[in-house]
C-alpha cells in the first residue's frame, strides 16, 4: 500500500530565486534555522544536458532521523540497529529547466527502507497550475515576469515491513522466513498501514517547517544577492570567499 | 557552510559549492550555463575523487544502487497510468 499526501503552495518570489533557495536551503543554519537537523550535504552528480539546457543534480543529505519514535518502538532492534542509528541518508534528485520555467525534485530515504520508504516529489513552476494546461495555446507571457512561483508537493509513504523484498534487504543470514517471520499475512498489512499513517501524520508539520525555511532563505536573497549572502555567512565563520 | 558527510572532503566540497552557487546564480539562471565544461568542472572532479572513496567506505554506494533498483520498480508501478 502507498499513502500519499499532496499540497500546493506559492512563493511570492520569482522562479529563478526559488530554485536558488532550493539549492541553498541546507547551506547553513544561519541562513535557514530549520536546517539544524541536516548534518551534511554532498553533490554526487551535476550536469547540464547540452540538448535541452536542463540542469540535473543529485545530492545526498544526512539528516537526524525523523523516523517517528512511535515507529521505532514498534520495531525490533534488529531492524533499527538499536539506539545507534539516529540519522538517515536522503537522496535528492532535481532537474531545472530555466528556459521553460520549471523544476522537478524527488527526495527519498536511503536507509530504513526495509521499514518505510518516504518519497517527496515537488514540482515548481513559474506558471500557476490552472494555466499550465493551456500554456501551449496562450502566447507566452515571458514567464520570468511572473513575481510568483507555484509548487506542488507530494509525499508518498510505503511500508515494506514484512514483505519478501524487505526481508531480503535486511535479513540475509536468515534463510527460511526472513527476520520478519513474526509478522506475516494480514498482521503485516496492518502494521504496514499503521507505520504509513503514523509517518504521514507528521507530514503537515514537516511541510510547514520546510516552507518556512525556504522563505527565510528567499528573504535573505531578496535583500542581498547570493554572493553577498555567502560572503556574510563566511565572514561570520571567519573565512573569506570569492577573494580571488 | 554545510559540511560533507566525509570531513576529509570538506575543503574541496566548499570550494566546489561556492563555485557552483556563483555559476548557477550568475550564469545558469541568466541562460548562459550551457555546458558542463564550466569553471567549476575541475573542482567537481577533485571533490568527487575524495567523496567516492568515502561513499564506498561507508557502504553508501550500495544504498545508492538499491535506491536506483527500487525507483525502477516504483516508476513501473506508479507512472504507468500517465
Fold of A3-236: Alpha-D-Glucose-1,6-Bisphosphate; Chain A, domain 4 (3.30.530)
Among candidates B22, B29, B66 on the partner chain, residue whose Cβ is nearest the Cβ of A98: B29
Per the prediction, chain A carries an average pLDDT of: 80
Helix (H, G, I), strand (E, B) or coil at B12: helix
Q: A112 in contact with B at a CB cutoff of 8 Å?
A: no
**Residue A163 Rama label (left phi>0; alpha psi -120 to 50; beta):** beta
User: For residue B67, which residues of chain A lie inside 8 Å, CB to CB?
Assistant: 91, 108, 110, 113
Res. A8 pLDDT band, cuts 50 70 90: very high
Q: Look at residue B14 and tell me whether its pLDDT is greater than 80.
A: yes
Q: Look at residue A96 and tell me whether its pLDDT is greater than 90.
A: yes
Give the pLDDT of residue A70.
67
CA separation for the pair A115, A160 (Å, rounded): 6
A36 versus B34: the higher-pLDDT residue is: A36
Give the angle A175-A181-A184 at the CA atoms, nearest 5°. 130
Give the pLDDT of residue A122.
97
Give the pLDDT of residue A188.
78
Domain boundaries along the sequence of chain A: 3-236
Could you tell me the end-to-end alpha-carbon distance of chain B, in angstroms, rounded to an integer? 40
Q: How confident is the model over B27-39, as a mean pLDDT?
A: 82
For A200, residues 6+ apart whose C-beta sits below 8 A from its C-beta are A3, A5, A155, A157
Q: How confident is the model over A144-150, as a mean pLDDT?
A: 83
Per the prediction, chain B carries an average pLDDT of: 86
Q: What is the pLDDT of residues B34-52, one digit of tens each?
A: 766 689 999 999 999 999 9
Q: How confident is the model over A38-62, as a mean pLDDT?
A: 95
Q: How confident is the model over A67-86, as a mean pLDDT?
A: 59
Q: How confident is the model over A74-101, as a mean pLDDT?
A: 76
- How far from chain centre, in Å, is Cα A125? 17
**Residue A138 Rama label (left phi>0; alpha psi -120 to 50; beta):** beta
Q: ipTM score of the complex?
A: 0.88
Q: How confident is the model over A149-171, as a mean pLDDT?
A: 74
Poorest-confidence range of A28-37, A40-49, A50-59, A142-151?
A: A142-151
Give the pLDDT of residue A132.
56
Q: A135 in contact with B at a CB cutoff of 8 Å?
A: no
CB A218 within 8 A of CB A11: yes
Res. B73 pLDDT band, cuts 50 70 90: low
Q: How far apart, in Å, are the Cα atoms of A244 and each of A229, B3, B41?
A: 17, 22, 17
Interface of B with A in 52-81 (CB under 8 A): 55, 60, 63-64, 66-67, 70-71, 74, 78
Domain boundaries along the sequence of chain B: 7-78
B73 versus A10: the higher-pLDDT residue is: A10
For residue B52, what is its C-alpha cell?
567516492
CA separation for the pair B17, A202 (Å, rounded): 31
Poorest-confidence range of A93-102, A112-121, B16-25?
A: A112-121
Give the pLDDT of residue A240.
56
**A230 contacts B3? CB cut-off 8 A:** no
Among candidates A46, A111, A169 on the partner chain, residue whose Cβ is nearest the Cβ of B20: A46
Amino acid at each position: 500500500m502507498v499513502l500519499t499526501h499532496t499540497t500546493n503552495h506559492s512563493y511570492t518570489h520569482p522562479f529563478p530565486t526559488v530554485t536558488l533557495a532550493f539549492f541553498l536551503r541546507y547551506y547553513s543554519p544561519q541562513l535557514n534555522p530549520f536546517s539544524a537537523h541536516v548534518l551534511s550535504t554532498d553533490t554526487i552528480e551535476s550536469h547540464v544536458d547540452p540538448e535541452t539546457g536542463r540542469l540535473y543534480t543529485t545530492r545526498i543529505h544526512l539528516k537526524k532521523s525523523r523516523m517517528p519514535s512511535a515507529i521505532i518502538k514498534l520495531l525490533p532492534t534488529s531492524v533499527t540497529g538499536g539506539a545507534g542509528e539516529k540519522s538517515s541518508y536522503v537522496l535528492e534528485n532535481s532537474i531545472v529547466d530555466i528556459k521553460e520555467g520549471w523544476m522537478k525534485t524527488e527526495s527519498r530515504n536511503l536507509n530504513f527502507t526495509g521499514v518505510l520508504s518516504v518519497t517527496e516529489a515537488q514540482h515548481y513552476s513559474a506558471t500557476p497550475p490552472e494555466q499550465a494546461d493551456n500554456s501551449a495555446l496562450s502566447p507566452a507571457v515571458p514567464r520570468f515576469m511572473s513575481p510568483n512561483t507555484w509548487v506542488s508537493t507530494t509525499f508518498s509513504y510505503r511500508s515494506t515491513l514484512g514483505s519478501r523484498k524487505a526481508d531480503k534487504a535486511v535479513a540475509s543470514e536468515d534463510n527460511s522466513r526472513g527476520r520478519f517471520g513474526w509478522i506475516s499475512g494480514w498482521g503485516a498489512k496492518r502494521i504496514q498501514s499503521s507505520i504509513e499513517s503514523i509517518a504521514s501524520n507528521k507530514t503537515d508539520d514537516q511541510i510547514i517547517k520546510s516552507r518556512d525555511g525556504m522563505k527565510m532563505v528567499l528573504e535573505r536573497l531578496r535583500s542581498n544577492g547570493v554572493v553577498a549572502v555567502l560572503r556574510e555567512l563566511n565572514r561570520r565563520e571567519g573565512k573569506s570567499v570569492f577573494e580571488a | 557552510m554545510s559540511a560533507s558527510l566525509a570531513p576529509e572532503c570538506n575543503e574541496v566540497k566548499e570550494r566546489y559549492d561556492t563555485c557552483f552557487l556563483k555559476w548557477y546564480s550568475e550564469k545558469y539562471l541568466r541562460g548562459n550555463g550551457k555546458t558542463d565544461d564550466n569553471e567549476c568542472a575541475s573542482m567537481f572532479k577533485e571533490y568527487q575523487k575524495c567523496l567516492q572513496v568515502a561513499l564506498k567506505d561507508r557502504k553508501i554506494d550500495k544504498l545508492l544502487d538499491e535506491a536506483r533498483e527500487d525507483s525502477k520498480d516504483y516508476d513501473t508501478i506508479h507512472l504507468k497510468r500517465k
